[in-house]
Amino acid sequence: MSNALTVAAKGKLAMDKWVVRSSIFLLFIAMSLAFRFSLNPNGKHFDSLLTCQNNNNNNISSSSYLKERIVDLANDPHTVDWMKKIRRQIHENPELAFEEFETSKLIRQQLDQMGIAYRWPVARTGVVATLGSGSSPFVALRADMDALPIQEMVEWEHKSKVDGKMHACGHDAHAAMLLGAARILKQLQDTLQGTVVLIFQPAEEQGQGGKDMIAEGVLDNVDAIFGLHTVHRYPTGVVASRPGEFLAGCGSFKAKIIGKGGHAAIPQDSIDPILAASTAVISLQNIVSREIDPLDSQVVSVAMIHGGTAFNVIPESATIEGTFRAFSKKSFNALRERIKEVIEGQAAVHRCTCEVNFTGTEHPIIPPTVNDARIYEHVRRVSIDIVGEGNVELAPIFMGSEDFAFYLDKVPGSFLFLGMRNEKIGSIYLPHSPYYTIDEDVFPIGASIYAVFAHSYLSNSTRNLNSYD
């Protein structure tokens, strides 16, 4: 009997142990499933989550590789020498606004050799090339081509061969760097997830080329645009821009004040337009000094006065001409209207009539350059990848103007300053100086920023631009 009880007791103990172990095992399974569900609340198979994570890692790795590949291609000695050669050819043969026939021909020859399709002529001398899939999304890169009516004073091997004409604003470099970007992107064409539009624009200095290019459809289907300009404010390797208002809008005005001519010794028989013009000039200066918020930077300058043919004759008319600038479109338009009111008012006070014109063909109105905040941020991150965060600066607003503003009026985009100050080679002079010199070491930087911006924009447009890594 005791043996039977002992066996029964041992059996019960074994059963109890089995129950406890089974309970612990089932509890472990439940906890494991709960943990997996917390990671995958939508009920998807856990392996699919791992696959998704691996794909994201692959995307990041691929993006980083392509950026490194672009920078390597831009810094390839053959590519650098090629960009320098093109820039120097353009520099030796400067052409003014809408006269860029040889410059355009050289650009087209290079595009032909690379097998890149293009449209020409656009706006008389402009070139618009495309590469990639040929379908949306579309992103545009722009460079200008025209020179200035300046006699070059820099003595070097590739000095301008045309008297009175010079590339004194870096447009030769801009065109060369955009061609460099084209060469890079052509080698990566199979990886482009959309279409890159390359805009080689005439007549930036005249403020008309951008408008004319847009009128001929260069921005059709374009989702975003990017442009850059070499500057001496920042050292080579430093870039700068800012979101929102960046460069001022620029306008010109010409006012003809009409009176009644007569002998200067008998002024009562005349209506003096010289007096009316003089008071108009003084009153125009009061707009900025007394009517404008000091924190809203604006400029009104009268730079030309014409009137009279003899010291003792009151003329029939007098003409004044000047410029005005402002950063916001609202301020710019208000300033324009106020200039007209002041001139007309002063003419009326002095019994004259007047004609005020804001549409001069030599100096058309250019709107403020306003960077889209989203595209600016994309450009900033691209720039950090290429030159390092310490070399990317927030630029102040500048009173200069750029006809790139016309593109920004139509599509989101951003404009960038590419520093190239280098005291050792004399790259210290401001644009439009006869001693203007370019540090060609910036070419790989500019070409890289052009190319990485376009490539990464297209890649991210299928996702979310703000998720750019």
Q: Which residues line the annotated binding site?
A: 169, 171, 205, 229, 432
Question: Residues comprising the binding site for Mn(2+)?
Answer: 169, 171, 205, 229, 432
**Residues 202/123, Cβ–Cβ less than 8 Å:** yes
State the maximum Cα–Cα separation within the chain, in Å, rounded to a whole number.
154
How do beta strands 353-357 and 138-144 pair? unpaired
- Measured CA to CA, the distance from residue 42 to residue 89 in angstroms comes to 62
Strand ranges inside 308-425, DSSP E: 313-314, 317-326, 353-357, 369-371, 392-394, 413-421
Q: Among residues 253, 224, 233, which one has the least CA distance to residue 377?
A: 224
Amino acid at residue number 211: K
**Residues 358/253, Cβ–Cβ less than 8 Å:** yes
Q: Among residues 219, 67, 69, 71, which one has the least CA distance to residue 142?
A: 219
**Residues 234/393, Cβ–Cβ less than 8 Å:** yes
**What are the two backbone dihedrals, phi and then psi, of residue 263, each rounded to the nearest 5 degrees?**
-75, 135
Residue 97, SS3 per DSSP: coil
Q: Dig out the tokens for 338 from the structure.
A: 């106020």
Q: Among residues 421, 389, 386, 457, which one has the least CA distance to residue 73?
A: 386
Distances (CA, A) of 365 to 122, 218, 359, 413: 21, 20, 7, 20
**Residues 411/219, Cβ–Cβ less than 8 Å:** yes
Q: What is the CA radius of gyration of the chain?
A: 33
